[in-house]
């Protein structure tokens, strides 16, 4: 059984969060952030993103989160799909946007909501889908289990959910 990082559980657990995530594809690779949500020994790869702050637009949140996590400056493209992520105690409604016109170079960022001695961002990199699929399924975002190629990300549908019924 995985044990969620206590600081992550206290910050985000027990509430429904609205999050934005950016899908940035370069040739046949997608930009992912490796989070240590369950401790340093277990990875979770997902597109860059995070919670929308009260009074903040989705576009501003997306740009802020991508800059914080990856060091890149991005422009928001089209809304690709909405995903409901439910892994108690975490529950999020995630708005996935295409990311365009990225400037800068990829670097591992930080999460300002998490204390510096307990940071959960371990790595940031472009990954091929076959490398993602080579990882255990619990080590990457569930949207990638639905894909045979990154081109399919534009045809996933409007609403996805990994919630157990």
Asked whether the predicted pLDDT for residue 1 surpasses 50, the reply is no
Residue among 125, 109, 95 at smallest CA distance from 29 = 125
Asked whether the predicted pLDDT for residue 164 surpasses 80, the reply is no
Pick the CATH number of 6-159 from 3.40.50.2000, 3.90.79.10, 3.40.570.10, 3.40.190.10: 3.90.79.10
Q: For residue range 52-80, what is the model confidence (pLDDT) as tens digits?
A: 999 999 999 999 999 999 999 999 999 99
CA angle, 20 as apex, 127 and 46 as ends, to 5°?
25
**Residue-wise DSSP of 74-114:** EEEEEEEEEEEEEETTEEEEEEEEEEEEEES-------TTS
Tokens of 83: 């995903």
pLDDT at position 13, please?
77
Sorting pLDDT into bands at 50, 70 and 90, what band is 20? very high
């Amino acid at each position: 059984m995985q044990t969620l990082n206590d600081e992550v559980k206290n910050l985000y657990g027990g509430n429904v969060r609205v999050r934005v995530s950016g899908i940035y594809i370069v040739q046949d690779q997608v930009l992912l952030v490796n989070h240590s949500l369950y401790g340093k020994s277990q990875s979770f790869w997902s597109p860059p993103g995070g919670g929308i702050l009260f009074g903040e637009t989705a576009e501003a949140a997306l740009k802020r989160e991508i800059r914080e996590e990856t060091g890149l400056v991005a422009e928001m493209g089209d809304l690709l799909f909405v995903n409901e992520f439910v892994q108690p105690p975490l529950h999020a409604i995630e708005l996935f946007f295409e990311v365009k016109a990225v400037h800068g170079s990829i670097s591992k960022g930080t999460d300002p909501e998490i204390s510096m001695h307990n940071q959960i961002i371990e790595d940031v990199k472009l990954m091929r889908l076959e490398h993602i699929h080579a990882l255990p399924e619990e080590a990457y975002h569930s949207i990638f289990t639905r894909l045979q190629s990154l081109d399919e990300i534009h045809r996933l549908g409007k609403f996805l959910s990994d919630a157990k019924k």
